[in-house]
Structure 1
């Protein structure tokens, strides 16, 4: 009994310290964002005297974080829709349709997961520039789809492989075409995986800096994370405003993790078990 209690404490204490180390930067950033510049200079670690949202308003309006937020929302929404549509169709085809070269295609998707973006960024930038897609929403959406599609296809293929083949055969016997099987059977059955993978893809696209910085060089089309990065140089002497910008970028991601953490965990383990 005592040994079991000590074991629980041995696991609980490190996890509590890890949780504190994770939460403290966010709390510190929120506290800094509520301070005036004078209060921050006098004591950066002291609690803010009041909940002052002036820095958040300034960051949202004057600094342009509202425009950056809208840019990110447009790009992430379009990218996730395309990723889920193409990824679910490819996952269904690779897991349930028999055609020559399907194994090679799946192995190619696996291999693409191990290719860092830095390896392909120069050729990608040249192709996008020649196509006139630099500094455009479609260009950034296509770059995100190209970067994160192998991950989406892999998870959807793994998930669809757990669905019994008899269901597909029964649907074909009932007169459904391949498209009908995908639309009427596989899409509804794959809804949990689509939700989980969609959340993960949205987080990947939302938190990206490198691809967005490469594809959107103008200030007008910056995404939120690129805008936050630019604040570090423009407002190096106004840390509370910079903290407010960081807080604006972090809150959506934090809300997703708080309310959809189960779906995120399910997405990471999608297709890893049978049944």
Structure 2
């Protein structure tokens, strides 16, 4: 028993330090967002004199964070819906159906996971410009779907491959077509994986800066993360307002992690075990 306590301390101390290093930036940002410009200039590290949300309200109303927030919510919702629809269809087909070229197709999708966005950035921008989709919400949604669909298909294919074949066979014997099996059997069975993958894709799209900055050059259509990035240049002499914008962008992600951390972990390990 005495030998296990030092081992626990060896693991606990680094984990505690890592947790502190993770939490401190959020605490520091929150403290700065509560300060006035004068308080920040005098001492940026001291606690705020009063708990005031004036900077948050100003960032939300005057700076335009409310518009950026709604833009992000709309784009993320549309992107995740399409990703789950196409990803579940492809995952069911590749995981449970056998057709000529299915293995090669899955390997091609797997290979797409290793292609950095920077490699396809210029061709994507030229294609979107030629089709008139630059600076439009459909263009950004399509860019997100194209970027994150291979990841979605990979996880859902791995999950659907673990579903017993007897379930599919029984559904076909009962008279269901392939589409009936997908709609009546596979979608309900895959609900946990769909929730996990949906949460992960929502976080990917919400935190993205590069794709949104490329596809949405106008200020009116900016997403939240791009809007926060632009604040750093516009309010370089008003750091509390900038910190308030960062706080607005971070709170939804923090809420998702706090309440859906189990689903996020399940999504990372979806299909890795059977049963």
> TM-score, length-normalised on structure 2?
1.00
1:55-100 CA deviation, whole Å, 9 max, x = no partner? 0011011110000000000000000000000000000000111111
Give, in whole Å, the separation in 1 of the partners of 2:115 and 2:87.
18
**What is the match of residue 20 of structure 2?**
20
How big is the shift at 1:172?
0.1
**What is the match of residue 220 of structure 1?**
220
How big is the shift at 1:159?
0.2
Give, in whole Å, the separation in 2 of the partners of 1:142 and 1:272.
29
**What is the match of residue 93 of structure 2?**
93
Q: Residue 87 of structure 1: SS of its match in structure 2? A: helix
**What is the match of residue 52 of structure 1?**
52
1:189-224 CA deviation, whole Å, 9 max, x = no partner? 000000000000000000000000000000000000
Q: Structure 1 stretches of 5 or more lacking a match?
A: none
**What is the match of residue 185 of structure 1?**
185
How big is the shift at 1:49?
1.2
Q: Residue 159 of structure 2: SS of its match in structure 1? A: helix
Give, in whole Å, the separation in 1 of the partners of 2:176 and 2:169.
10
Give, in whole Å, the separation in 2 of the partners of 1:18 and 1:157.
34
How big is the shift at 1:50?
1.2
Q: 2:274 matched to 1:270?
A: no
Aligned residues: 275
Give, in whole Å, the separation in 2 of the partners of 1:194 and 1:231.
35
**What is the match of residue 207 of structure 1?**
207
Give, in whole Å, the separation in 2 of the partners of 1:64 and 1:97.
49
Give, in whole Å, the separation in 2 of the partners of 1:59 and 1:109.
41
> TM-score, length-normalised on structure 1?
1.00
Give, in whole Å, the separation in 2 of the partners of 1:99 and 1:141.
30
How big is the shift at 1:3?
1.1
Q: Residue 212 of structure 1: SS of its match in structure 2? A: helix
